[in-house]
Structure formats: C-alpha cells, structure tokens
Amino acid sequence: MKRLKYGVVFLAAILACLGLTAAWAVERGKLPLATDLSQEAKIAREQRIPILVLFSSPGCVYCNRVRSEVLIPTTLNADYDNKVIMREVEVGSHAKLIDFDGKRITQAQFAAAHKVSFTPTVKLFDARGREVANPIVGLVTLDYYGGMLDQNIEQAIARIREGSAVAGELTRLSE
C-alpha cells in the first residue's frame, strides 16, 4: 500500500514537472478554494470546459449542504473530470485570489465583482470569466439541485464549444 501511495505521488510530481495536470490527483473528494483562476482558465480553455464556482460564506448551513451533498460527491464521479473545474470562493474573505485576467484581488472583491450577495450561489464561467449558464442561487431542496447543476454544466459546455466553433470558423475565413 505504501508503494502505491509513493507511486501516485511520484506520478503527480512528474506530471507537474511536465506542466500537465491531473485534476483527479489533487481534487477528487475536495472542493478547493479558488486561488488562481487565470491558471484554471488556461486548463478550461484547452479542454473547452467551464469553471464552476461555489460562492459560500462561513457558517452557512446551506453552503455546507451544497458542498458536501452535491459538489464533493460530483468530484468523486470520474465522468466530471473532463466536464468541469470546480472551485469555491468565500464571499467575505480577504484571502488573495488571482482573477481570470491575472489581477490580484480578494475573494470578497471577486464575489462583489460578480454581484454575489446571497449564499450559496453557484456560477459557471468560461475561460474569459464570462458567465455561461444561469446561476443557481440558494437552496430550497436537494431533490432537484443535482439535476439543475447537471443541466447548467451541459448548457455551459455547449455554449463554450459553440463559441469555440464560431471563433475557429471566423479565424479560418479570415485566412
């Protein structure tokens, strides 16, 4: 068992040295706080997937439920490895964050810039930091939350890939 553990760490180190990421190696079963969305944006752009951000606040019971009963279990499902990047932002936090444009701000400033005042709020962004699906604000019941989340992720992926196809076609036509 110890050999397997060291093997996984060794593989992750090699991938990191090569500049490759294996999202599952670090994030499976966790919802990391956002620290550098410009780096996440590079991965999202390459894979043509959205970045999901849970805007939360400490002590928010509903935030804890969305995180522990929906989002973290979603990170355990390998089907989502190439569908979405998930991060969390605490709306009142003064923790530093690099936004999509590479600008250093606080998590609170990022939340304010995206007009988030109610938690939990889940938003999906493209690699440029534009919203690509309707936000999910609050939590009434968990019964439908997973379905709404899946629908929003699929909508975001479709918008991103549609935009990529249009941009590619415009580039091809201008050559």
Predicted confidence at residue 7, as pLDDT, reads: 42
CATH code for position 135: 3.40.30.10
Report pLDDT for 164.
62
> Tell me, what's the pLDDT at 11?
39
Whether 18 and 36 map to the same domain: the answer is: no
Q: How far apart are CA 173 and CA 168, in angstroms?
A: 9
- The predicted pLDDT at position 139 comes to 93
Residues 10 and 76 reside in one and the same domain = no
The β-bridge relationship of strands 51-56 and 121-125 is: antiparallel
DSSP structure class, residue 127: T
What distance, in Å, lies between the first and last C-alpha atoms of the chain? 55
From residue 113, how far is each of 30, 41, 95 by CA, in Å? 25, 17, 15
Judge if 7 and 37 occupy the same domain: no
My answer on whether 39 and 71 are in the same domain is yes
At 32, the pLDDT band (50, 70, 90 cuts) reads very high
The token duo for 17 is 């040295």
User: What's the pLDDT score for residue 159?
Assistant: 96
Q: Are residues 17 and 56 in the same domain?
A: no
Token pair in block for residue 24: 């599952």
SS3 call for 131: strand
Taking Cα atoms as reference points, which of 145, 161, 157 lies closest to residue 54? 145
Stretch 119-142: mean pLDDT: 95
Residue 39 sits in the same domain as residue 77 = yes
125 and 88, same domain (yes or no):
yes
Phi, psi values for residue 90, rounded to 5°: -90, 120
- Considering the domain architecture, whether residues 16 and 94 belong to the same structural domain is answered as no
Q: Are residues 76 and 111 in the same domain?
A: yes
Same domain as 11, residue 90: no
Domain interval for residue 106: 31-174
Number of domains forming the structure of the chain: 2
In the predicted structure, residue 124 carries a pLDDT above the cut 70: yes
**pLDDT tier for residue 28 given thresholds of 50, 70 and 90:** confident
Mean pLDDT, to the nearest integer, of 9-29?
46
Query: What does the mean pLDDT of the chain come to?
Result: 84
DSSP SS3 for 40? helix
58-96: per-residue pLDDT in tens? 999 999 999 999 999 999 999 998 999 999 999 999 999
d(CA 118, CA 140): 13
What tens digit of pLDDT does each residue of 153-173 get? 999 999 999 886 544 443 344
Which are the contacts of 71, defined by CB distance < 8 A and separation ≥ 6? 31, 52, 54, 86
* Of 78 and 26, more confident: 78
Mean pLDDT score, 89-110: 97
How many percent of the chain have pLDDT more than 70? 78
